[in-house]
Amino acid sequence: MKTLTKEHNTLNVDKVGAVFTISEGSNWRQTTPGGNFFVSDNYFDLAGMSIEDKTLFFEGAAVQEVQNPVAVAGAAGDLIQVADIMSAIPLSDDQVTTFLTLGNTSSPGGFGFGTFEQTVYARHRVYAIDVDFAGSNYFNLLSSNQLGSLSPTAADRVYCYRVVQMGANNTATTMLVYPARYILRAMAKEEADYQYIMRLKRSYDLQQRFDRD
């Protein structure tokens, strides 16, 4: 059994009028200049296991965080959405931001392909500042949903994405999303030759799409 980890750094965003800017956030980017969508990506390198002709069977996955997001000069109704995605295939910024509304379904306007199997693990959370605790500066967790199949893979990578959407009408002048650690528990096993060959073909076919190192 192996425990694999990857981390996403702190995201600190300032808002002036309708314009959002990253004031702190190594490896974070905005999908559009001044916009309210932010993406961080990384990947688990599984090449060593594929060289040994082994398939990775996932036993579990999780996301660790220190605490809820916080705001400066926030008010009741301010909103943050956070999605954490571990995928067997690379995803574009459009796909990971669409995940915030449609998840990994094949609904019209969604990812446009069957993604249950390719989504190793994903989690979607919604935070908001409410009237009772507005003075604390903390966003309260409104909902938390998990998706994914933990399907085995012979691919060289599992891609990791953290996408954040700040509410367009937030009154907060600064919003901070704390770092996160992605964890995968997996076992590398040998399969029968014909099964492994078919899994390799499937992994290869899935990899022939958008990628970014």
9, amino acid identity: N
Please tell me the predicted confidence (pLDDT) of residue 203.
Answer: 54
Please tell me the predicted confidence (pLDDT) of residue 44.
Answer: 92
**Furthest CA-CA distance within the chain:** 61
Q: What is the mean pLDDT of the chain?
A: 85
Please tell me the predicted confidence (pLDDT) of residue 180.
Answer: 97
Average pLDDT estimate for 134-145: 93
User: Is the pLDDT confidence value at 176 over 50?
Assistant: yes
User: Is the pLDDT confidence value at 208 over 80?
Assistant: no
CA distances from 157 to 65, 95, 188 (A): 23, 18, 14
Average pLDDT estimate for 106-123: 70
User: Is the pLDDT confidence value at 71 over 50?
Assistant: yes
Q: How much is the pTM? A: 0.85
